[in-house]
Amino acid sequence: MSAAQPRVGVLALQGDVREHLASLSASGVVAVTVRREAELAEVDGLVIPGGESTTISRLLAVFELLDPLRQRIADGMPAYGSCAGMILLADKVLDGRPDQHQLGGLDVIVRRNAFGRQVDSFEEDLPFAGLDDGPVHAVFIRAPWVESAGQAVEVLAVVPETPVAGEAAGRIVAVRQGNVLATAFHPELTGDGRIHRLFAEIVRERA
Ligand code: GLN
């Protein structure tokens, strides 16, 4: 599967699939949708988009993708989850539905809808470890945050201590563990290609 231009899938069961496809294409990889096990087998990496984690979880079961996807992640396939995708990649979720499935791969505990029910969305500029050219403008939409992270997890961004941050101040919102990357926010919505380029780089190194 290795090629000059790796093939990166976007899990296309629900959520903001189109935006991720566009961001991936701009980062110089071949971006394709993934709904079937055979399509999953053809990609060098996978993005799990923002959307609704309980819905994506249910559809993963319906499309019989849960075990194949868990297996590929366990085998080291690069995966990037934004928002709902971060929830799905977490080993544990708080405030989830009891029947919600986890793909796992990230040794973190995430809290769903952590920014509070009233605060549907929140925007902040975040310093992001390893990225040049200044902070990332992060858009959070009914977003999770990481309550705690295991030792193998690299923290890439936390919410800065600003007057508007409130309880979110200091919370972990971007992490990496090996080939698994996750952000609580949506770079696919802001036109900042740096995080997709970082993911494309992880895929290239692995492919
Ligand atoms: N609150 C959503 C969930 O639980 C995530 C929201 C998002 O992806 N923008 O999945």
Between 191 and 81, whose confidence is greater? 81
Judge whether residue 85 has pLDDT over 70: yes
- Give the pLDDT confidence score for residue 117 in this predicted structure: 61
Q: What integer pLDDT is reported at residue 56 of this predicted model?
A: 98
| Tally of domains within the chain | 1
Ligand 1 center to 88 CA (angstroms): 10
**DSSP string over the chain:** ---SS-EEEEE-SSSSHHHHHHHHHHTTSEEEEE-SHHHHHT-SEEEE-SS-HHHHHHHHHHTT-HHHHHHHHHTT--EEEETHHHHHHEEEEES--TT------EEEEEETTTT-SS--EEEEEE--TT--SS-EEEEEES--EEEEE-TTPEEEEE----TTTGGGTT-EEEEEETTEEEESS-GGGTT-THHHHHHHHHHHHH-
Q: Are 78 and 41 in contact, with CB atoms under 8 Å apart?
A: no
- In the chain, what percentage of residues exceed pLDDT 70? 97
Q: Residue 115: what pLDDT?
A: 86
Cα 174 to ligand 1 centre (Å): 15
> 2 lies in a domain?
no
Q: Whole-number mean pLDDT of the chain?
A: 95
Residue 1 lies in a domain: no
pTM to 2 decimals?
0.96
Residue 79 predicted with pLDDT over 90? yes
Tell me the residue range of the domain where 141 lies.
7-206
Does residue 144 lie in a domain region?
yes
**Which backbone phi and psi does 110 adopt, to 5 degrees?**
-105, 150
Specify the CATH number for the domain of residue 46. 3.40.50.880
Of 1-5, 7-11, 24-28, the least confident: 1-5
Whether the CB of 89 sits within 6 Å of ligand 1: no
